[in-house]
Structure 1
Amino acid sequence: MTGPATSSLAADPPAAQQPDWPDRAALHAVAADLAARPALVSAAECDLLRSRLAEVACGAAVTLQGGDCAETFDGTTPERIESTYRTIRQMAAVVSGGAALPVVQLGRMAGQYAKPRSRPDETRDGVTLPAYRGDLVNGLEFTMSSRVPAPDRLRRGYERAAGTLEILRGLAAERGGAFFTAHEALVLEYERALTRDTPSGVYDLSAHLVWIGERTRQLDGAHLDFVAGVRNPVAVKLGPSSTPDDALALIDLLDPDREPGRLTFIARMGAGAVREVLPDLVAKVTASGARVVWVCDPMHGNTVTAPSGHKTRWLIDVLDEIKGFFEVHRSLGTHPGGVHLELSGEHVTECVGGTYEVLPAQVPDRYESACDPRLNRGQALDLAFELAELYAGRPTGGL
């Protein structure tokens, strides 16, 4: 990989979950435009995050990652950006107090504009259209004109990310402390266009950390091939079907030098599977000598349907998966590195439970997510206090 000039649009090796772009010439033009624009983050910032995550890998810090399931262009207002930032900062302060350790803060922000889908299309009332793949690709409105993948959305995504980062940098400067951004490296045309060859090496400078999801972590696939070639800290999500052999192969591919802070495993098992599946993964990885960061995503494995038909999550299930994650690490003498949450700084009603309880019947009241349900600010802070107790080794009160 050589940097901006490598914005090749050929998917070799094969790339899963890519849009069916109808206008390839327009796609090439947008990618070339983005390759010539300034990077969104710097290689030095990525290196700083890698050093902070190395502290997490060695048990000297924890990490808190949170933000929208899928950012929308219209939702990236200064007020919402600040509310999410403020919520993560407040959570970090609570968790740090319980853990007696610094907290590395990452926002699912300034780039989380694309989502993988289980089906390529969606049917409503007998009409079938392409599935919504996030604002980076197409629109949420259920019309053909909205759902056709549009290359110019990559440019709009870049511009929205740049604006979000400007606000985040201003907030971090006011309040002190580093704040990093992360997103799923899903749409490869976008990621490749923002890859730069720097004196320190090749980096994907669309974000400080990029992760590969459960649906795109094929060992012979284009997504892992891409992140293997960049110097950013990277992460991979591991679901309940993951095996120790999968994890060890990922380490060999993405972290051959066994560099603490380079690789994070985000376990997304579900409350019913975490205690069964995770122990063997952690034990075998630890025995290999690799120093990865272990993070719990307690959201994706705990999605259910509310009476209204909306996707939702019960806060008690989210907490149960986190408790299982801690139990596994405590039993093995390893470090529970942190959590990865879908949350909003707004008072949405997408998840059930909490001190200021959202009831199942209230889920539709403020359901604003473009994809999956998020914790609201109160629920996120509830979870932060539970995390503080878990890190302190005290019994949690439950939710």
Structure 2
Amino acid sequence: MTTKKTAVITIVQKNTGFYISLYLLVLLTLIAFSSNVLASSIKDLKRQQIDEILFNIHAYYVEDLTLQNSHHIKYNSQQFERLYSKLDSYSKYLNEHELTSLFDNTNGRYTGIGIEVKNIDENMTIVNVVNNSPAKAAGILPSDIIVSVNNQATQNRTIDEVATLIRDSKFSNIELIISRDNNKNPLTFHVARRQINLESVTSELLDFGTGYIAINNFSNHTLHEVALQVAALQSHFGYPLKGLVIDLRDNPGGTLQSAVAVSDLFLQSGTIVTTKGRFYDANQAFYAKRGDILKNAPIVVLINENSASAAEILAAALKDNKRATVVGSQSFGKGSVQSLIPLGDGNTALKLTTAKYFTPLGKSIDGIGITPDVAVNQTNLSQSNKAVIIKNEHTNSNAQLLTGNLADLQLVKAKQLLSMQ
């Protein structure tokens, strides 16, 4: 399948998980630093780093690339790049900046302006604006198109190139020229980069004693945040929830450990996920322990084509164990596990696909995705759009227009299913 290209500027990656011999750090994600694994940074690698990368590919990569099984063969630059290009799009050499960004994002923070972009019809289109971010404060909106960054046109540039323009800017304020549908002339915004704390989980009250939580990504804090949000919903009603909607739409993934732990919150028993690879420690099985935070109250899980990796683990765990009804559209289908392998002095690393994961029923969803129990297709909704619809806010004309034009059909179906149980 073709990898969907989405990125949070500056380009960040979510994830960490269990350790393999205290050496490999397990990652799950949809958002990649680049779909082109031949990043310019590998052209500057030293001989020792190349040797390390070759050894780790041979030892741990999920597929045997038959590296001629000899440490005596000297790879020249072109041979190395050809071999490197055989890796999947989730495997990549990480320079110091990318490695720092990965760890920051795993801990629920990153430094940037707070926009999620996607290349749509060769336009650098903003698909989401992060809450509590400089971009949000400046008034940048989803569906805005970035025309230029600091007078550098974005046309015909990759997402990584645009991210670099923002990240490496020598100016304290970044100038964005934005094209917006209802404006004849381009808009100019000046936005400063800063550290942003990412909101992993949000919640809302629904009717009839039911609740709603949206898990936006799986970070090291997600388990704690989900537990707190569910407790807050139950405290409001004064009794256990009668049902819960778990919204995983547009969730690109996160840590394996977090996905397993959140799944375990709602399961009394059963397999959560298994992983299989070429070396011993890549083969793992994760099982639920007794204790269901909802005491078996019904659950509906919402997914769409941008629900990936760790989000798919949670959806499949609840679906296959018959703990939840899954509503929405076919998920992304990212069923592989990446490990983070430190290189040299530890300031750089190799992110390498080391295993495939399988649902509780033993199915691989890689390139396929999860099929919902109840299929309901609709236009994607940003997190801000979802919030307006859920709350049914009518605080201004924009909100009224939004609720009039973007009925959340998937959420409506989820609420209907809960009311029937």
With normalisation by structure 2, the TM-score equals 0.30
Structure whose residues are more often helix by fraction = 1
Bigger Rg over Cα: 2
Q: Which has the higher contact order (CA 8 A, sep 6+)?
A: 1
